[in-house]
Chain A
Amino acid sequence: MSRVSLLSLQILVAIVTLALWYVLSSYPIFGHVVLPPFFFSNPIDVGNQVVAWFASGVIWKHLWVTLEESILAFIIGSIGGVGVGFWFARQPRTAAVFDPYVKMVNALPRVVLAPIFTLWLGLGIWSKVALGVTLVFFIVFFNVYQGVKEVSPTVLANARMLGMNERQLMRHVYWPSALSWMFSSLHTSVGFAVVGAVVGEYLGSAAGLGYLIQQAEGVFDVAGVFAGMFVLAAFVIVIDAVVSLIEKRLLVWRPEVTGSQA
C-alpha cells in the first residue's frame, strides 16, 4: 500500500468514526437516541471545548505541568534505574539479597501509592513525579540489569583480550549494552512517566491534564472529559514521535532500527 492511500484510509477511519458519533448522539433512530448526549456528548461540543481551551490559552498551563512532571519522572526514574541496575548486575550477591523485595515492590499496583505520596509530598507536582518515578524506575532497572547481564560472552572475552581493564569494560562494553536495552524500552518508560503524572493529577492536584479531566467529570461535563482525553492522546503521540526520533539517532548501530527505516 502506498503512503498516500494508507494515509487517506487512516483519515477515512477518523471521519467515519466522528460521523457515526455525531449521528448517533444527535438524531433519534427508531424513536430513541443511541448515544445520549448527556453520557457521550457529541463531536461538535468536544471540538468547541478543545478550541476554546487553546483560544483562551488555559490549556498551555496544564500541558506544561503534565509535561514537566513526566520529564522529571522519566529523568529521575531513569537515573535510579540505570544506577541500581548496574549495581545489581555487577554485584550478584546484593542482587540476590534484594531480589524478593524488588519483586514485591514491583508487584504492587502503583495507584495505591498515590495517596501516600500526596500525604508526603503535598498536592504539587512532586507527588505526581514520585508516582511516575515508581513506574519508570522498574522498567529501566530491569532493562539495564538485563543489558549488563546479557553481554555476549564472546564480545566480553574479546574486550579482555584487547587489553581492557575493569573501567574500560564498563565504558566500552557494559554501558553501551545497558543503554541499548534501556533505549529499546524508551517508549514504554516515557509512556509510563506520562501515566504516572496524569493518574497522580487525576487523584488530587490543582493543575495538569489529569486535573482538567477530573474537574470536568466532577460537574458531569462530558464534553470536557472527552476534550481532555483528546488533548492527552495528542500529547502522548507528540511525545512518542520525539522519542522515536531520539531512538533512531541513538541506536543507529542496531539492525532492527535501521532495518525498519529501509
Chain B
Amino acid sequence: MALDDVQVAFRLAGGGTYTAVERASLRVADGEFVAIVGPTGCGKSTLLNIAAGLLAPAAGTVDIFGAPLTTLNRQAGYLFQADALFPWKTALENVAIGLETAGTPVSEARPRAHEWLKRVGLGAFGDRYPHMLSGGQRKRVGLAQVLIRDPKILLMDEPFGPLDAQTRQIMGNLLLDLWNADRKAVLFVTHDLEEAIALSDRVVIMSAGPAAHIIGDWQVPLKRPRDISEVKLDEAFHDLHRDIWHKLKAEVVKGYAMTEGA
C-alpha cells in the first residue's frame, strides 16, 4: 500500500478551506505492521480515511497492491475510532454481517462468527447487544467484525484509545496474537508512543496540522513474537522511545499552541 504526496482540504462552514494533510507519503509493505503517531487533530484519522477510500485526496495518489484506489478500498478492514457497531444487532449478528453482505448464507456465517467471538474471548456474549457490553468488549467485537472478512489490509484508528491501561495491554496482546497467525499489512493509528513501539515493525510520526505530513520513520528493532508488558522492559525499547519522543515532543507542543490559538 502506498500513499504518495497526499493532500486533503476540508471546506469550512464559514467559507474557506482547511488543509489538514499536505504532501504526506507513506508506504506499507505486505505483512508489515506500521504505527502512526502524532498530536491530536493532526490528521491521523483523515489519512486512514484516505487509505480506506472513504475520502478522496485533493491531490496525490493512493495505490493498493500496485493499483490506484478510486473507490472504496475493498481489500481493507477498518476498525473505527468511534463506536461503529450496529446497535440494533447482537454481537453475533454484528460479526456475521460482514460475511452475509458478501453472500455467505446466514446458516454458515453465524457459526463462523461464533468462532471469531470465541477467538476474541467473547464466546458467551453472542446474544448481547452492543450497549450491554463494556468498551473493551465492544472493541473486541469490532475487531472480530473486521477480521472475519479476512482483509489483506487492516486499518485501525486508535482502537484502544478509550480503554484503561490493563485492558489496552490485553487487547494489544490479543491483536498481536491474531496478527501473528496470518500477517496482514496493518496501519495502526495511536497517540500513545509506547503502544506504537510495542506493537509495530515501524513507527511513523506526523507533524502537527495544518498541512500535516510525515516527519519521521523508525524501524522497531524488537523481535517477534512479543509480549507487550515484557517488551517494555527491553533496553532497545527505551532507546527508541527516547529518540522518537525527542522529535515528537516538539510537535505535541506545537499542536497545543495551534489549538490554544484557535
B76 at the interface (CB under 8 A from A): yes
Q: Which residues of A contact B (CB under 8 A)?
A: 152, 154-155, 157-165, 168, 172-173, 176-177, 180, 252-255, 258
B84/A154 in contact, CB under 8 A: yes
B40-79 interface mask toward A, CB cutoff 8 Å, 1 = contact, 0 = none? 0000000000001010000000000000000010101110
Chain A neighbourhood of B74, CB < 8 A:
163
CA–CA, A253 to B131, complex, Å? 7
The verdict on A253 contacting B72 (CB below 8 Å), with A154-B80, A158-B78, A172-B97 known, is no
CA–CA, A172 to B97, complex, Å? 9
CA–CA, A176 to B94, complex, Å? 14
Chain A neighbourhood of B134, CB < 8 A:
none
Chain B neighbourhood of A154, CB < 8 A:
80-84
Chain B neighbourhood of A163, CB < 8 A:
74, 98, 101-102, 149
A252/B54 in contact, CB under 8 A: no
B72/A161 in contact, CB under 8 A: yes
B145 at the interface (CB under 8 A from A): yes
* Smallest Cβ-Cβ distance to A165: which chain B residue: B101
B88/A180 in contact, CB under 8 A: yes
A160/B129 in contact, CB under 8 A: no
Minimum distance in angstroms from B190 CB to a CB of chain A: 18
A173/B86 in contact, CB under 8 A: yes
B80/A157 in contact, CB under 8 A: yes
A-B contact pairs, 13 of them (CB 8 A): A154-B83, A155-B87, A157-B80, A158-B80, A161-B52, A161-B72, A161-B78, A162-B97, A162-B101, A163-B101, A177-B88, A253-B131, A258-B131
B72/A160 in contact, CB under 8 A: yes
Interface residues on B, range: 20 to 34
The verdict on A168 contacting B84 (CB below 8 Å), with A161-B52, A162-B145 known, is no
CA–CA, A258 to B76, complex, Å? 36
* Smallest Cβ-Cβ distance to B88: which chain A residue: A176
CA–CA, A255 to B128, complex, Å? 12
A155/B84 in contact, CB under 8 A: yes
* Smallest Cβ-Cβ distance to B77: which chain A residue: A161
Most buried by A among B74, B78, B89, B101: B101
Chain A neighbourhood of B88, CB < 8 A:
176-177, 180, 253
Chain A neighbourhood of B129, CB < 8 A:
252-253
* Smallest Cβ-Cβ distance to A169: which chain B residue: B101
Minimum distance in angstroms from A250 CB to a CB of chain B: 10
Chain B neighbourhood of A158, CB < 8 A:
78, 80, 84-86
A255/B54 in contact, CB under 8 A: no
CA–CA, A36 to B232, complex, Å? 88
CA–CA, A155 to B129, complex, Å? 15
Chain B neighbourhood of A180, CB < 8 A:
88
* Smallest Cβ-Cβ distance to B128: which chain A residue: A253
Minimum distance in angstroms from A66 CB to a CB of chain B: 34
Chain A neighbourhood of B84, CB < 8 A:
152, 154-155, 157-158
CA–CA, A177 to B146, complex, Å? 22
Chain A neighbourhood of B97, CB < 8 A:
162, 172
A162/B131 in contact, CB under 8 A: no
Minimum distance in angstroms from A94 CB to a CB of chain B: 25
A176/B102 in contact, CB under 8 A: no
B115-150 interface mask toward A, CB cutoff 8 Å, 1 = contact, 0 = none? 000000000000001111000000000000110010
13 additional contacts (CB under 8 A) given A152-B83, A162-B97, A253-B131: A154-B82, A154-B83, A155-B84, A155-B87, A157-B54, A157-B80, A158-B85, A161-B54, A162-B149, A163-B102, A172-B86, A172-B101, A176-B88
CA–CA, A155 to B74, complex, Å? 17
CA–CA, A158 to B86, complex, Å? 9
A155/B101 in contact, CB under 8 A: no
Chain A neighbourhood of B130, CB < 8 A:
253
B149/A155 in contact, CB under 8 A: no
Minimum distance in angstroms from A164 CB to a CB of chain B: 5
B101/A168 in contact, CB under 8 A: yes
Minimum distance in angstroms from A239 CB to a CB of chain B: 26
CA–CA, A172 to B145, complex, Å? 15
Chain B neighbourhood of A168, CB < 8 A:
101
Minimum distance in angstroms from B130 CB to a CB of chain A: 8
